[in-house]
Each structure stands twice: as C-alpha cells, then as structure tokens.
Amino acid sequence: AFAEVEVDIETGEVKVIRLVSSHDVGRAINPMIVEGQILGGAAQGLGYALTEGFCFDQRTGTALNQWFLDLRTPSILDIPDIEPVIVELGEPTHPFGAKGCSEISYVGVAPAIANAICHATGARVTELPMTPDVVLKALREAKRTGA
C-alpha cells in the first residue's frame, strides 16, 4: 500500500489524499468483486490507522467507548481516492489459481500512512490510531532528537 498525505504540523491532523492498495490475488476470478474487497479493506484500514481506538478508564480498566457508534469509523465522506491494483501471480494449490484478498487488504494501510507522515514531516509515528495528539507527540519527538 502507498499513501499520499497532508499533515498539519500545528494541529497534528492527517488527511489522506490518495491511497494505492495492491494485492496478489492469485487469479481474479471476478475482478469487480476483487476490487470491491480491496476498496473495502482499504476503508477499514483508514479507520484502524487514524480514528478507531479503544479508550479505557485508568482506574477501573473499563472500556469507555465500547459501542460501535463510539469508535468513529470513517464514512464515505472521509474516504480518499483509493486505487485498487490487482496482481495475478497464480496459486498452484488452488484449482482455479485464486487466493483470498478480503481481510488482508486492510493490513498495509496503517504502515503506508505512517511512512507517508514520516516522509512529509520527518516524524515517525509508532502508535495507533494516529490521532492528532499522537502525531503531535511524534512531531515534538522528531524535533527534540533532530530527526
């Protein structure tokens, strides 16, 4: 996965402008469905990378945002331009040469965004979700260490 981002260095807000998500699917038996799986996984990955995180009460350990409505999953308005790339290298162990691509398509999104933030700012973000406060912390650390 590859991401193009804009980072507001004063607020820590990250805006993903473009995302390219490439997957070896063996053989795409139905390319339209494969593209849909890649797009859906990339959208899930955006939430995982930028907004969806559990908050816990420090005293009791109780989840403070235990309902789906509290997780701030991205809506269609939050999704950038996503380019799905289907790679077909074949799979000899499957009768039709196919591989699955559903859940795996969200895995590369967070590292791609973290790398894009580092490329844009020099700050390495190592915590998820990459909320503005997490990004600001990474920016301060990069400035402190001269990275």
SS3 5: strand
129 contacts 48 by C-beta, under 8 angstroms: yes
Q: Rounded distance, CA 96 to CA 108, Å?
A: 26
124 contacts 116 by C-beta, under 8 angstroms: no
Whether 83 is catalytic is no
Q: Nearest 5°: phi and psi at 3?
A: -130, 145
Q: Rounded distance, CA 82 to CA 104, Å?
A: 16
Spot the catalytic one: 10, 13, 103, 141: 103
**Residue 85: strand pairing partners:** 22
Pairing assessment for the beta strands 81-87 and 2-7 based on DSSP bridges: unpaired
8 contacts 130 by C-beta, under 8 angstroms: no
Catalytic residues: 103
